[in-house]
Amino acid sequence: MRSDLVWRLLRAWLAAACLVALPAAAWALSPAQAARIAAGETDDRLAALAEAVASGDPALAPFLQALLADEVKVAGGRAFVVRDGRAIEAASGVETALPDGAEDVVNNNRMRRELQAALAALKLFSPDRALRAAAIVELKDQVDESRLGLVDRALAAETDAALREQLGQLRAAVLISSDDRAKRLEAARLLADSGQPATRALLGERLAAETDPQVRAAIAASLADVEARLAWGERLGVLFAGISLGSILMLVALGLAITYGLMGVINMAHGELMMIGAYATYVVQNLFRQHLPGLFDAYVLAAIPASFLAAALVGAVLERSVIRWLYGRPLETLLATWGISLILMQAVRSVFGAQNVGVENPSWLSGGVQVLPNLTLPYNRIAILVFAALVLAAVALLIARTRLGLFVRGVTQNRRMAACVGVDTARVDTYAFALGAGIAGLAGCALSQVGNVGPDLGQGYIVDAFMVVVLGGVGQLAGTVYAGLGLGVVSKLLEGWQGAVLAKIMVLVLIVVFIQKRPQGIFALKGRSAEA
């Protein structure tokens, strides 16, 4: 928002400077021509505007900007630009006294659209490549055959290969609506090389309106080529959406793979631990906004450990107060943690309110990278992919390479033997449950960057998380990865085919069938742990 405001102020300052500094010839207008553009019937004004723009002189832009800003008056067959109490004759650029009875120029919506298109067309001759590129994008929906000569001159003068290609596509988009059959046929063939979604829409409209059989055949062939080219972007978009969803499911299920897969606790409050991590992110965001506004973009880096610690602390309290009495009794843990989930949701409603709260992306997570004309990868989704991979690597190293991981695996496989060799099994249980809860908090932190944060946040993911753990194989981190990514991709593919509701049902049916054939999941436990 601030950059847009600065840009508008800069453009206004430049326009004012041009009004003062340009000599008479720089306007490229005669007094009669300026008056014709400013006053009269709309059709006559548009004809005069087209005649003036046909010269392609960028010095015409200040006068057109003044018209759009409603700063032009007419009197005695002359046009005047009035700004800050000063009057400047539009044709000569000379400051003069404003005649009595000068009338304001009134621009209707049609005239304003044409003025904006004329300004964009003049930018085609700017020495700044960025301005020329922006002008081409702006003209895509505004240019018509009356400005074809201007586009041709810009095409002849353009030296940048990419912009020349875009101008060629723009020219073809103009010709496709021409009354000349030969021009329409030429344009249809030229547009076959386009990869823009707007070209597909244009060809579809022209195909419906075209009556000439040969032109219709050419448009249909070009439309098929464009659709085939765009199909790759759509396929890659579905694949990325599936991997993105899969990374979120994997991150959500990773903590559950410890509490349920390794410890045998059916933790129905896992979603609420995620919710706690998301609200911890919200609190950190507000603290940065109030006390460190200059470092606001870094609040996510502080929210990551905060969300982990907040959820881990709640998890440790739950384990020491409730869960420790229920090991080996999975149905009782299900009922107890379900009640705890209701308590946590109500506690959050009492503290933060029942409505969703807003968590804002930092600037470096806003926007995305455009890979193809119809495929943009959001930065926040890319960041979650990287974050999920880092969390997975950290958990794998913790379980496989640290003393705590050794104790967790020992207690999981044979609690009595671990206790006999001096392992404090009660403390290990607390640490393991707190670790699983903390990972759930990290998942909540990640989810806060892509969705709404509210008391019901965890309810939308708890069932999917259990499906991932069961499908991957209880106690198997590798299975959690494969199952999470696989379910994400399959879900997005089925959503594009049958819709979200039917896709959910079909995924559930596929999991039931798979578990019937392979009850231990993708990766089955081997050795003594499988027999326990």
What's residue 532's pLDDT?
Answer: 44
Q: pLDDT at residue 199 above 60?
A: yes
Mean pLDDT for the stretch of residues 293-312: 93
- Are the CB atoms for 404 and 398 separated by under 8 Å? yes
How far, CA to CA in Å, does 172 sit from each of 160, 189, 306, 318?
18, 9, 56, 67
What count of Cα atoms within 13 Å lies in the side-chain half-sphere of residue 203? 30
Mean pLDDT for the stretch of residues 83-92: 80
> 258-293: b or e for each residue (b if 16 or more CB lie within 10 Å)?
bbbbbbbbbbbbbbbbbbbbbbbbbebbeebeeeee
User: Over the stretch 59-75, which tens digit does the pLDDT of each residue have?
Assistant: 677 888 888 888 888 88
Share of the chain above pLDDT 90, in %: 18
User: Over the stretch 3-25, which tens digit does the pLDDT of each residue have?
Assistant: 454 444 444 444 444 444 443 33
Best mean pLDDT range from 38-52, 73-87, 163-177, 213-227:
213-227
User: Over the stretch 160-185, which tens digit does the pLDDT of each residue have?
Assistant: 887 887 787 778 877 887 888 888 88
User: Over the stretch 448-487, which tens digit does the pLDDT of each residue have?
Assistant: 988 889 998 888 888 888 888 888 876 667 788 888 888 8
Copy the structure tokens of residue 284.
């950190």
Question: Residue 78, SS3?
Answer: strand
Average model confidence (pLDDT) across the chain: 82
- Are the CB atoms for 458 and 274 separated by under 8 Å? yes
What's residue 97's pLDDT?
Answer: 83
What's residue 338's pLDDT?
Answer: 92
What's residue 343's pLDDT?
Answer: 93
What's residue 100's pLDDT?
Answer: 81
Q: pLDDT at residue 530 above 50?
A: no
Q: pLDDT at residue 293 above 70?
A: yes
Copy the structure tokens of residue 473.
């194989």
Mean pLDDT for the stretch of residues 419-446: 89
In which element (H, E) is residue 64 found? helix 61-68
What's residue 56's pLDDT?
Answer: 66
Q: Which range among 48-62, 152-166, 194-208, 424-438 shows the weakest confidence by mean pLDDT?
A: 48-62
> What gap in Å lies between CA 71 and CA 85, rounded to an integer?
11
Q: Which range among 282-286, 342-346, 504-508 shows the weakest confidence by mean pLDDT?
A: 504-508
- Are the CB atoms for 203 and 226 separated by under 8 Å? yes
Amino acid, res. 415? R
Taking residue 106's Cβ as centre, other Cβ atoms within 10 Å add up to 9
Strand runs labelled E in 338-396: 368-372, 375-378
- Are the CB atoms for 245 and 486 separated by under 8 Å? no
Share of the chain above pLDDT 70, in %: 89
Q: Please, which pLDDT band fits residue 143 given cuts at 50, 70 and 90? A: low
What's residue 475's pLDDT?
Answer: 60
CATH of 234-531, one of 1.10.10, 1.10.260, 2.40.10, 1.10.3470: 1.10.3470
User: Over the stretch 254-291, which tens digit does the pLDDT of each residue have?
Assistant: 888 888 766 778 889 999 999 999 999 999 999 999 99
In which element (H, E) is residue 169 found? helix 161-175
Q: Please, which pLDDT band fits residue 394 given cuts at 50, 70 and 90? A: very high
Helix pair angle (477-498, 500-517), 10° resolution = 140
Going by C-alpha positions, the residue among 505, 504, 510, 483 that lies closest to residue 492 is 504
What's residue 18's pLDDT?
Answer: 44
What's residue 474's pLDDT?
Answer: 62
Domain with CATH 1.10.3470 in the chain: 234-531
Amino acid, res. 192? A
Q: pLDDT at residue 523 above 60?
A: yes
Mean pLDDT for the stretch of residues 312-322: 93
